[in-house]
Structure 1
Amino acid sequence: MSPVFVGRSDELDTLNDALARAGAAEPQALLLGGEAGVGKTRLVEEFATAACRQGAVVALGGCVEIGADGLPFAPFSTALRALRAALPDELAAAAAGQEDELARLLPELGEATAGRHDEQGMARLFELTARLLERVAAERTVVIALEDLHWADASTRHLLAYLLRTLRTGRLVVLATYRSDDIHRRHPLRPLLAELDRLRTVRRLELARFTREEVGRQIAGILATEPDPAQVDEIFERSDGNAFFVEELAVAAAEGCCTGLTDPLRDLLLVRVEALPESAQRVARIVAEGGSTVEYRLLAAVARLAEDDLIEALRAAVGANLLTATPAGDGYRFRHSLVREAVADDLLPGERSRLNRRYAEALEADPGLVPADARVTRLASYWYQAHDPAKALPAVLDASVVARRRHAYSEQLGLLERAMELWDTAPEEIRAALRPVDYTDVYPPCGCDPAATPLRYLDLMAEAAVAGRFCGERERALKITKKALRILQDEHDPQRAAWFWVQRSRLVQGLARGDGRQELANAQDLVRGLPPSEVHADVLANAATWAMLHQPGPEAFAAAEQAVEYARMVGAREIELNARVTLGCLMVDSGDVDNGLAELYRVKEAVLQDGVAHVVGRAFVNLPSELESVGRSGEAVPILREGVTFTRGYGLLDSEAWIWGNLSESLYSLGRWDEAAEAAAGALGSAASAKPRGVGALRLADIAMARGDAAEAARRLAIAHAHYGSHDPMPQVLLPVARIAIGVAAEEGRLLDARAELDRALAAGFPPGTHRYGWPLLLAAAGAEADARALPAAADGRAEALDRLAEAVRKLTTGAPLWQAYERWTRAELHRARGTDTAALWSDVVTDFECLDRPYDLARVRRRLAQCLLETAAGDDERDRAAELLRLAGAVAGHLGARPLAEAVALLAQRARLTLTARGSRRALDPAESLGLTSRERDVLRLVSAGRTNRQIAEELFISPKTASVHVSNILGKLGVAGRGEAAAVAHRLGLFPVEALDPTR
């Protein structure tokens, strides 16, 4: 190797910049890619050396390849071990209280508890790891370098993705390297790289090959002399600038090995191996098959050489720079993985299986030859590669249990699939000795004792399906459930079949293949009429939850009640609590508000006490949501903030995102819009799946609409559509989406599109309990019709649209003072759309909202009441009341940044010659202050609103058509709209012109 570090100045500057930013408590994440041999490791070493000189602690970890398998969490375990050695007190303090969980990554911390096995268990481990690193890096800069990500196991990839998404504080640099030439189209790392590319916090570097000049400098460093230019040309052409091949070719040339310059590069890598003594070649082949690193004692047991002979063989391999000792000095590895791959590929098939058998036999004879946390996984890999099903099946199953215990569900799934592959080839006596209680956590009832019954193939399938769901490999899990259900067609085992149908329902929904209803219906048919059981209760609980979200009503209520009853009868506490969350929500939605909320509060306390994380997550999502549904937003906010803290601590990303979305909704209701926007951004940033992101986008669309940015609202609405998809329609999604779509269409002057959105929503209907979404939608549609009353183009179909709205208003329930106020408001808007609204009507609406904590809604209805008072006012009392109403509404609009409302208030006051400043001020209002329109532009806008063409405007105002066109263009720019229809809609919404001023016959 060249002692001189060649090139890479730009990349090193980027890494040093990241180090400096991390020193300022701004966590940094970098991905370093490049083809094999291009110099990634050398760059990391140079950076690590420089970082250490600046006082940083550098912890290196590498992904370990064992045959075709990766060792779960290997790079993180190695890096944490190095961090513990460098900062023992700091790491111990950071891990205090969580040692039993973190021991899954770092066994030195203690004994990992069995714990729960579900999606939350893995998420909890990830969250604890992220916070551990933040705490360790609170006072000094820490660099975590993870190499060879292309070999990373799935659990390592998931943990890295979580870490890079959620790092918030700490003086931390996370640097990961990977081979870009290995990342083919179906490589499992490829989706992760695409996901991380979307994160603004992650920087990605690609190492290019050396230029000819850099190759010359590298050769000069290797040979310690200036090379011949012709030799540089030849090596550069042959190596194509790959740093590792430059090394090999330079040494080959210096040793007079001409064949190295003509043979394939793979053969070049073997030239140095073939030049070694036979014993050293044999040792190299053994090391190549043992994995990325082989411990010395294990190597000695497999090589079966006298110790002196083994040492001499190793000395020759190390002297030829083929092998190097590990940093800990307890084993050996190839200097470069390309050489190991070349040597391993050169093994004969029989030779490979024989070596793996010897590795397995040596490890079985002395388990202490390898670290305890790697022993079971490596033994399973060795026996599998040895093609010995009798030995491989139990070893693979043991490894799957260890992977599950570490929450490495991706690796557990792969091992279980391998066990299913081995099942038929393993001897019957071996299978008969296996027990489900030893190898599975999933026991679909089979009417027998799992400890006394042989393990079945279906047991493996059940465990694999759950592992696939936990780790996000839903496609693989779905195929397993399909095969299992096909097998069960020939067996009478309804509870086991029902269990698989429930799993399939969850997977179908997760894969966006449907809403999962038919699968749950199949499960219900199978358990109907059977005695109560845990499976029966679980089927009912899932069916009730599905119905609550899709078709709420008496059937959902009955299923939830029965699920609670059955769960209590069979002692299934978790299912009971989960079903009680659903039941409490259905009680509130059906009108039994006090009892429903009381039940949800009781469940929340119970699940917190029991520590059932995923049910706690549901409680923190649903209880505040139900409080919001009855107008108790102020009560919901502290619970939601508590929920954010809880779910973040347990790594429940989707639950956290739903909570952020609900928090945004409640803050919006309370008039805290800036906080609401931050909460919506939290939903977008924390979600692991699509639907919670849709909620965040929808909340931002609401804020954009209220602040007068229809284009941004439309953009956010499109994002929400994309996240929600069309595979799983739910009223809680469809109705808010339709409401915002109606608002955007009305704002842009597309009343027919707004009516079409309304018609689709009315056709779908408002199931029981969905009034919280239905009333805002009906209000938006009624307001759009009222705002467009003066538009000639809106006359066609108006009567029918108003009749449909009135019919929907008559049918929709209220159930709480908030929705009673919305009902009265919607009816007032319908009267306004017909021109029959009165001050008395609006006064009742204002009175309703004055009792509610909804400042924006109150400001809107106050503005409507003021408008009615001014249009019918005959005395000073009415004008004074209108002025005060407008002053209050304007103050709220100004505070919230609700531009459309503020402009409407200002224009209404100007038309009535009122002042809206503090009492006693007499400054008159000018419409130009709000819209910037000149008096001529006001005249033009009035005619545009009446539907006049440019030529008609020119004739009426005695100007040229070209001048009229210029005025229209200026108006569109000042209003921030794209066309004449939108401009007219803005003018009518703001009440800029009296209806009679737009009479076409005038």
Structure 2
Amino acid sequence: MLASMQQISVSPVFVGRGSEITELTDALRRAGTGSPQAVLIGGEAGIGKTRLLEEFLQRACDGGAVTTLGSCLEVGAEGLPYAPLATALRRLHRSLGAEFEAAAAGSEGHLARLLSEFGEADGEPNDEYGRARLFEHTARLFERFGAERTLVLAVEDLHWSDRSTRELLAFLVRTLHRSRVLLVATYRTDDLHRRHPLRPFLAELERLRTVQRLELARFGRREVAAQLAGILGTGAPDHQLVDRILRRSEGNPFFVEELATAFEDGCGAGLTDSLRDILLVRVEGLDEEAQRVVRIAAEGGSHVEHALLAAVLDDDEEALIEALRAAVGANILRPDSEGEGYRFRHALVREAVSDDLLPGERHRINRKFALAVEAQPQLVPCDALPARLANYWYHAHDPARALPTALDAARAARRRNAFAEQLGMLERALELWDQVSEEVLTHTLRPYDWAETYPPGSCDHSPADADCDRIQLVDVLAEAVVAARRCGDRERGLSLAKRGLRLVDEAEHPVRSAWFRINRARMLGNLRRSGDDEEIARAYRLVDGLPPSAVQAEVFALAAGVAVVRSPRLEHLELAQRAIRIAEQVGAHSVEVHARMTLGSLRYDLLGDAEGGLAELTAAVERARQLGVPDLLLRGINNLASMQRGLGRAEEAVRLAREGLEYADGNGLQRNIGNILTGNLVEALADLGQVREAQELLAASELVGLPGSHAEFLDRMGGDLAVLRGDFATAATLLAQARAANRVGQAQHSVPISRLAVRLAAYGGRPLEARAELLAALAEEGRLGYEADVYPLLVEAAGVEADSLGLPEAEAGRAEVLAAIAAAGADLRPQSPLHHGWARLLEAELARARAADTPEQWARAVTELRPTGLPYPLALALLRAAEAEVRAGRRESAAELLREAAELAAARGDRPLGAQIAALAERAGLTLTPAARPAAAAAPVQAVGDSFGLTPRERDVLRLLARGWTNRQIAEELYISPKTASVHVSNILGKLEVGGRGEAAALAHRLRLFPDDLAPAGR
């Protein structure tokens, strides 16, 4: 009705901001090529962010892009999640209709949590994974929109954004990689105090190459003059007026508009210095009735519906329209784009009007809004109703009404997987609890929804106990603990759980107390902090011996599950079996399947029953399929893939990991659980020698992965692949990152990390460092069940000891290290052909480290490893067998072994191993090509050092250097000066391409340049 009214103070021309428009246009162009972009526009209040955005959106629309806009809400926004995105999607839905519905096909049940027009949300649980699914399906919707045309999603006033909105926006920015989407967001810089939650959000996004940040500066004299000319419509304004308004406004465009209006009204520019007075001057120019309407609208929120305003005012409709017409005509209020309500011309004006209200007046107005909404809920959108009502009662200072509505708003936020907003409303309820009478708590609050937080059967009371039928403070705390855990605020969750434990008498309510304990344990584990074992042990003592309950089953299952990745013992096997029996008895189906998966792993780890463990885990996966719980099924597929890979069945592991990734993608969990499935797939592909695909998958995972998600696994895999490329510097960096992420030290991660460290130290010519890494790894507990990782660690560590034979500093302690390696190998239980092959390799490497290996030992290892089809351990065995054959004088046999090893190393892209194979062939005078020569014409073995271009004197120096002699000792032995010895050493280091004397000595021993010099020689 009022949408066409003229707004006199807005300049009809767009002033300045040429460089900003250019940067936005460039970002739009890049997005149009399929490279999604994000632009964050900051500036102080009134600087012109909205005007710049409006101008750009119009130009983008004129250029053929689809644009949509949503604004974050200021007043009444608490507990109302996703508001700007819901508005933006609603506008897209209205403008695109069938095209929008086609893009959303298959995701309606998930997107209903954002847009009520899609009807009822799906029936999936509201848990952490539910939120991940919502985010994934939202990203998929924008990907479909951006497949054929460019989409611009604009969000205003990020400084008022709720946490769920920020997290969803960050997810979109990180995950939209091949879509024609441009995200533009504005925020106030002067609102960002040191602890403002938007600060870390901006810092996180700014690190991404697709994100650009613009800061709008104030206008100079030229822009102010142009703005005044447009507003006043009088051509070039008077110079003195420009100077006065520039001085008073300090170049803030909004203040320029307000001061220009004052000038038109005959006030000159001589307004009071108070900012509030500047903002209120045109409000005070309205008649009394219009001022009353504006004051009431200011408490309605950033946006207030016409019907709601009419219900609150309860005035004659004609009088209300006239008052609104005056407010719109004075450019204080604006009709919104849909014509259903009003917004203030600028948030600063609303703030000034609200701040000018008396305290009692503000409470009274909010009470009127609350009563109107309670009487006619249809006055506000249904998805905003619980939060709006809760906030009106809260700001009305009526705890008895604010508490139940806060709980209702928390439940509504939970149904939308907006756990941060749920937590905020629950904490408000906790704040109000003591202000509400016992009568209200008993008769007004509806019973707590137990099933959402406590599993069935976790109430310690008898069914007849009244306390079990009404909400209690501990119930709110329990829900807040879950909300904090789900939204990732685990520090707050720990604090809330601790408060809950103080309220619960564990002797009277052991099950509730145990529930809080296991939730604390989970959060401590997520935070990689110690103490979770103690919490689980305490929970176990509380429920052991009690009647069966879901909490009891969960405690037992959690205790057994944590042990799997730490130090499993036979008692944990029994514990998993107890958890299964109890879960079956009480109907806790998900807990039962979790426990069965744990049991499968324990049978493999503890009993050495590989086939039994596989069968148990396979059956649990099928049960998870029947239940239809995506995260449970993916846990099973992931564990099954890992177990198959550990047994050497890499092809089956690849199949399972691919299946899991496809399922994760279809259920919105690709960027969550998908990360660890990707890690398993990468590892299995590397085992098979398909390194290029493994590298591509890992690179893609790093692009879309959430920060910190399974970083220890993905970083370590990245380090392993870097070693294959010979990029030791990158591998060392990734090793450090993996160690930092694996602070808890789970064996499934720490053993492969130690192996990577040993390999890097060995390739760097640091045998003592490699030894230290090994001994530290052997000191850790819980290595059983990881034969596929422990065997390679032991084999490669034994290889380092063999390569450093004759190195003086490595001789001390060698016998003890070899004994420790042998003892660790004896503790392992080979359960597959791969394990048996590694066991033969270990025996041979230990013999080589004592200079006692035989060709027959290596031949047995080769024979065991051939059926596995895995290139790496076989190539290593072939190399060592070839070395043994060379020493035995069987050159043709050695050449055949080396050629096969070279082919395997090349196919896998293993450059370091390939270099060792080539070096042996060169030293032995063997060719790696299949062309054969007559045996009689075979070339003799090259002289030691010829392959490096060493002179005879340098070979003599290197022999002594390898014994650990100093330059002076070398000089005395060879009858040369110490200076000449130093020159020879420098030349040797350069020709060997090593960084120091230790590396040169290690290389000489590893390559057996002096095979007759295996024992240290002293003087």
Aligned counterparts of 1:966 and 1:264: Cα–Cα separation in 2 = 81
Task: For residue 357 of structure 1, report the CA deviation from its aligned partner.
Answer: 0.2
1:43-82 pair list within 5 angstroms? 43-67=52-76, 69=78, 71-82=80-91
* Counterpart residue identity of residue 423, structure 2: L
5 Å-filtered alignment, 1:117-516, equals 117-224=126-233, 225-258=235-268, 262-433=272-443, 434-438=445-449, 441-443=452-454, 444-449=458-463, 453-489=469-505, 492-514=508-530, 516=532
Distance 2:942 2:104 in 1: 63
Please point out which of 902, 919, 935 is paired with 1:907. 919
List per-residue Cα deviations over 1:154-174 (Å, max 9, x = no partner): 111121122222213322222
8 Å contact 2:78–2:424 — kept in the other structure? no
2:899 alignment counterpart: 887
Letter paired with 2:830: T
**CA shift for structure 1 position 252:** 3.2
Structure 1 825/387 Cα, relative in aligned 2: closer, same or farther at 3 Å? same
Deviation at 1:790, TM superposition (A): 2.9
SS at match of 1:11: helix
Amino acid at match of 2:374: E
1:412–1:795 CA distance, 2 compared to 1 (3 A): same
Check 1:761–1:691 CA distance in 2 against 1; reply closer, same or farther (3 A cut). Answer: farther
Distance, in Å, in 1 between the alignment partners of 2:203 and 2:981 is 51
Whether 2:670 is the aligned partner of 1:661: answer no
Q: Which residue of structure 2 aligns with residue 805 of structure 1?
A: 821
1:205 shift after superposition: 2.6
Question: Could you tell me the TM-score, scaled by structure 2's length?
Answer: 0.92
Cα deviations across residues 303-359 of structure 1 (Å, max 9, x unaligned)? 233222222222222122111111111111111111111221222211111110010
Does the CA contact (< 8 Å) of 2:77 and 2:388 recur in 1? no
Q: What is the Cα deviation at residue 746 of structure 1?
A: 2.5
Is the partner of 1:78 in helix, strand or coil? helix
Q: Does 1:5 align with 2:22?
A: no
TM-aligned CA deviation for residue 70 of structure 1: 5.5
SS of equivalent residue, structure 1 residue 328: coil
Query: In structure 2, do the counterparts of structure 1 residues 501 and 474 end up closer, same or farther at CA, with 3 Å as the change threshold?
Result: same
Q: Does the C-alpha gap of structure 1 residues 763 and 44 become closer, same or farther in structure 2, counting only changes over 3 Å?
A: same
Structure 1 CA distance for aligned equivalents of residues 495 and 89 of structure 2:
37
| Alpha-carbon displacement from aligned partner over 1:515-562 (angstroms, at most 9, x marks no partner) | 511111111000011121111111111111011111112122111111
Distance in 1 of aligned mates of 2:895 and 2:189? 69
Measure how far apart 1:405 and its partner are: 1.3
> Which deviates more from structure 2 when the two are superposed, residues 854-863 or residues 643-652?
643-652
Gaps of 5+ in 1: none
Give TM-score scaled by structure 1 length. 0.94
| Equivalent residue letter for 1:435 | R
- Which of 697, 705, 709 aligns to 2:723? It is 705
**Residue 735 of structure 1 corresponds to which residue in structure 2?**
751
My pick for the range that moved more, 334-343 or 486-495, is: 486-495
- Alpha-carbon distance in structure 1 between the residues aligned to 2:923 and 2:946: 14
Say which is worse superposed, 401-410 or 28-37, in terms of deviation.
28-37
Amino acid at match of 2:916: A
Q: 1:654·1:689 contact (CA, 8 Å) conserved in 2?
A: no
1:794 aligned to 2:810?
yes
Counterpart of 2:721 in structure 1: which amino acid? I
Which residue, 657, 673, 676 being the options, matches 2:694? 676
Query: 1:987 offset after TM fit, Å?
Result: 4.4
Moved more, 589-598 or 759-768: 759-768
- Equivalent residue, structure 2, for 1:36: 45
| Deviates most, 537-546 or 797-806 | 797-806
Could you tell me the percent identity over the aligned residues?
A: 53
> Which residue of structure 2 aligns with residue 547 of structure 1?
563
Farther-moved stretch of structure 1 (954-963 vs 108-117): 954-963
8 Å contact from structure 1 (residues 70, 152) kept in 2: no
- Does the CA contact (< 8 Å) of 1:60 and 1:144 recur in 2? yes
Kept in 1: contact 2:922–2:947 (CA 8 A): no
**Larger displacement relative to structure 2 (783-792 or 978-987):** 978-987
Partners of 1:181 and 1:983 lie apart in 2 by: 61
Distance, in Å, in 1 between the alignment partners of 2:422 and 2:782 is 44
What residue in structure 1 maps to residue 708 of structure 2?
A: 690
Superposed CA offset, 1:635-677 (max 9, x none): 0001101211222333333421111111121111111122222
The equivalent position to 1:636 in structure 2, one of 621, 630, 653, is 653
Identify if the C-alpha distance between structure 1 residues 999 and 497 changes in structure 2 by more than 3 Å, giving closer, same or farther: closer
Shift of 1:232: 3.6
- Is the Cα–Cα contact under 8 Å of residues 725 and 909 in structure 2 kept in the other structure? yes
Distance 1:963 1:235, change over 3 A: farther
User: Match for 1:530 among 546, 553, 557?
Assistant: 546
AA of the residue aligned to 2:726? G
Q: What secondary structure, in the 3-state scheme, does the structure 1 residue paired with 2:868 have? A: coil
> How far does residue 912 in structure 1 lie from its aligned partner after superposition?
1.4
- The one-letter code of the counterpart of 1:324 is R
What is the CA–CA distance in structure 1 between the aligned matches of 2:265 and 2:982, rounded to whole Å? 84
Root-mean-square deviation over aligned CA pairs: 2.8
SS at 1:144 equivalent: strand
On the 8 A contact 1:677/1:699 being kept in 2, the answer is no
Task: Kindly state the Cα deviation for residue 448 of structure 1 after the two structures are TM-superposed.
Answer: 4.2
Pairing partner for 1:772 from 788, 792, 817: 788
Taking the TM superposition and a 5 Å limit, the aligned residue runs for 1:971-990 are 977-990=994-1007
Contact 2:682 2:694 in 1 (8 A): yes
Structure 1 513/908 Cα, relative in aligned 2: closer, same or farther at 3 Å? closer
Q: What whole-Å deviation, never above 9, does each CA across 1:760-797 have from its counterpart, x for those lacking one?
A: 22222444323333222212221111111132221222
- Asked if the contact 2:133/2:667 (under 8 Å) is kept, the reply is yes
Aligned-pair CA distance for 1:127? 0.8
Worse overlay, 322-331 or 241-250 = 241-250
Taking the aligned partners of 1:836 and 1:997, their CA distance within structure 2 comes to 11
Distance in 1 separating the partners of 2:640 and 2:118: 38
Rounded Cα–Cα distance in structure 1 between residues aligned with 2:178 and 2:219: 37
Q: 1:416 to 1:625 in 2, by over 3 A?
A: same
Q: Deviations over 1:923-953 (max 9, x none)?
A: 999999x999544597476665454556777
CA positional deviation for 1:506:
0.8
Q: Which moved more, 1:475-484 or 1:439-448?
A: 439-448
Aligned-partner Cα distance in 2 for 1:287–1:967: 89
Q: How does 1:738-777 map to 2 (within 5 A)?
A: 738-777=754-793
Taking a change above 3 Å as real, the CA distance of residues 120 and 765 of structure 1, as seen in their structure-2 partners, is: closer
- Of 822-831 and 479-488, the range deviating more from structure 2: 822-831
Q: CA deviation at 1:985?
A: 3.1
- Alpha-carbon distance, 1:867 to partner: 0.7
Post-superposition offset of 1:144 = 1.1
Once residues 22 and 311 of structure 2 are traced to their aligned partners in structure 1, the CA distance between those partners, rounded to angstroms, is 46
Query: What residue identity is the alignment partner of 2:834?
Result: L
Describe how 1:826-845 pairs up with structure 2 within 5 A. Answer: 826-845=842-861
Deviation at 1:911, TM superposition (A): 1.6
1: CA distance between counterparts of 2:981 and 2:305? 87
| Superposition deviation, residue 997 in structure 1 | 9.4
Q: Give the C-alpha shift of residue 684 in structure 1.
A: 3.6
Distance 1:137 1:131 in 2: 10
Check whether the contact 1:654–1:686 (CA below 8 A) recurs between aligned residues.
Answer: no
Residues of 1 paired with 2:275 and 2:502: CA distance?
A: 50
Query: What secondary structure is seen at the aligned counterpart in 2 of 1:65?
Result: coil
